[in-house]
Amino acid sequence: MSEKGHIPSHIAIIMDGNGRWARRRGFARFRGHRAGAESVREITRECAKKHLKQLTLYAFSQENWKRPQREINLLMKLLKDFLIKERKEINDNNIRLTAIGRVSELPEDVQKELAITMELSKNNTGMILCLALNYGGRAEIVDVTREIAKDVRNGKINLDEITEDTFKKHLYMRDMPDPDLLIRTGGDMRVSNFLLWEISYTELWVTPVCWPDFRKAHLEEALKDYARRERRFGGLRE
């Protein structure tokens, strides 16, 4: 049971509201995505400074392929630019970059830059920055189920030996601690298929602030709120 006053070791963020941010200013949606990249930089830097273990960012969902091709192309271009431009800063800050999601379905040039940045930072010992790319929570559960079924078929494990722990070991990132805090910007009260297995006992915090406006002060506000909460995990207060 965790005590009040704690700082989360793993924060996950649904970075939403880029389109609305742009629309309110009379800009094209793309301008919102571009401005959002600046928030990614600032929040990553802040979280690393606070010695978080992990920051997981929902950057592109499996359902986001439903958007117009033009917007998808621009998002992929921004992602690629981010992976190239931020490589040095990631490395200088001892951050290890990882990714979750069906990465093999991303455009090849994006996959290539992702692989380079991951390889370059793989021995870093500081915060883990995990990007959820072509990620879907249900898809992850399906992928885990397939892996376990394969192990059963090959006689590596018996059916009655499957536990929650077996499941956890087959997740996209097997050594990922469950998020302590899930932040959603843009005000919508939903999880949009993000980390369904992993957020069972995660504390939720939603702000109406759109992602491109999300700054250090908003993060501090979320952390202050988190610190006041008592996590009981189904038990009783002490």
Positions marked active-site = 16, 64
Nearer to Mg ion, 138 or 190 (CB): 190
Query: Which residue is closest to ligand IPE by CB?
Result: 19
Q: Which residue ranges make up the site for ligand IPE (CB under 6 A)?
A: 14-20, 58-61, 64, 75, 186, 188, 190, 192
Phi and psi angles of residue 224, each rounded to the nearest 5 degrees, phi first: -65, -45
The owner of tokens 């506000």 is: 221
The Cα–Cα gap between 68 and 60 comes to: 14
Total of chain residues touching Mg ion, rule CB under 5 A: 1
Cβ-Cβ contacts under 8 Å for 131 (sequence gap 6 or more):
56, 57, 59, 97, 98, 99, 100, 114
Of 10 and 148, the one with the shorter C-beta distance to ligand IPE is 10
Minimum CB separation from ligand IPE for residue 198, in Å?
16
Binding of Mg ion by 16 (CB under 5 A): yes
**Residue 188 binding result from ligand IPE, Mg ion, none, given CB thresholds of 5 to 8 Å by partner type:** ligand IPE
Q: What are the tokens at 113?
A: 């830059």
Which among Mg ion, ligand IPE, none contacts residue 18 (Cβ within 5 to 8 A by kind)?
Answer: ligand IPE
Which is closer to ligand IPE, CB of 64 or CB of 166? 64
Only one of the segments 8-16, 29-37, 72-80, 98-106 lies at the binding site for Mg ion (rule: CB under 5 A); that segment is 8-16
* 8 A C-beta contact, residue 110 and residue 75: no
- Tallying the residues shown for the chain, one arrives at 238
Element at 5 (helix H, strand E): none
Q: Which is nearer to ligand IPE, 18 or 54 (CB)?
A: 18
Distance (Å, rounded) from C-alpha 35 to C-alpha 144? 35
